[in-house]
Amino acid sequence: MTPDDTESDPSRDGVPTDEMLSPEEAFAVLGSDHRIAMLRALGEADGPLAFSDLRAAVGTRDSGQFSYHLNKLVGHFVRQTPDGYEIRRAGERVIEAVLSGAVTESPVRDATAVDRPCHYCGAPVEVRYHEDRIRVHCTDCEGIYGADERADGNGHLGTLPLPPAGVQHRTPAESLQAAYVWGELTGMASASGVCPRCSAVLDESVSVCADHEARSEPCEECVERYAVGIHFECTNCIYDRGGAFGVKLLTNTDLLAFLTARGINPVEPSARSAIGAMVDYEEEVLSTDPFEARFTFAVDGDTLSLRVGDDLAVVETTVDEAGGEARRD
């Protein structure tokens, strides 16, 4: 909590603590360039702004019209204090979403090769940006997911969400790095059962390809490298994503310790190759009903195995150091 988290103080706000707007009411209030400009000016200000200062910042000449629009915001989005007008959390969220570009822009960047090797074959990878996502492809091998019909690329290595603001003032390689960081944050929230969009409870489910073949290339049945997948679905908003099960292990303490002790920081995966350590592991399905599988991560000859049980929690950790004895915790 920061000291300004005092929105529930009705004496400061003049607003009942449980005031809610319906989505229709909220968007009706926001449906004005003037009001968005006011929220932006208040969001950028270091503290409350007096009426005249806010009006100067927004540049509205007509005082009556300015008051009219400001009064629409006061309550849910803006609070009036003795020192002037101040943005509330709801107003900040609106301006954050607007400035991320997520709701207003859709830049496209064509395929560009970047100076990062494919984790699997060492060939250069290329990135594309479209609809708030960076898609990463290998220029040579099949990658993790094979052909990517949605982006006209082969060797799909993964798709990473990145708001449009993320590609501003960045080279394709820098955008890719930003997308890794952004994706790790999303993955960590998901692995912990917290929706990365709205923070509500996530439902999770595991899937196992019944007829999975080999692992050097994506399987013909499920077209993926790994047989075990994890799916996250928010119980509140429309967030709904799936991927290789490794993401679910992203916050495992033993795995983080194993990786960081060997110089790999999975949260800041710049030092390693194009796709981080979280999607390079061996999997062994021990049972499908109840679900039980073992996931083994290897670095420089040392391995760490995590056995995962039916509730998707890790039930056993085994570390095997090169030349040393296996150790079970």
Point out which residues bind Zn ion (CB under 5 A).
Answer: 118, 120-121, 123, 138, 140-141, 195, 197-198, 200, 209, 212, 219, 221-222, 234, 236-237, 239
* Residue 185 or 237 with smaller CB distance to Zn ion: 237
Please report how close the Cβ of residue 154 comes to Zn ion at its closest, in angstroms. Answer: 10
- CA dist., res. 138 & res. 130, Å (int): 17
Residues 247 and 190: beta-carbon distance below 8 Å: yes
Counting Cβ atoms within 10 Å, is residue 194 exposed (0-12), middle (13-18) or buried (19+)?
middle
- For the bound state, the minimum distance from the C-beta of residue 199 to Zn ion, rounded and expressed in Å, comes to 7
- Closer residue to Zn ion, CB minimum distance, 75 or 143: 143
Looking at the Cβ atoms of 118 and 264, the one nearer to Zn ion is: 118
- C-alpha 163/C-alpha 100 separation (Å) is 6
Please report, for residues 248, 251, 281, 286, 291, the alpha-carbon distance to residue 305 in angstroms, rounded to integers and kept in the order given.
14, 15, 9, 13, 16
Task: Name which of 141 and 319 has its Cβ closer to Zn ion.
Answer: 141
**Closest distance of CB 116 from Zn ion, Å:** 11
CB 188 to Zn ion: min, Å: 15
Cβ 194 to Zn ion shortest distance, Å: 9
Cβ distance to Zn ion smaller for residue 292 or 320: 292
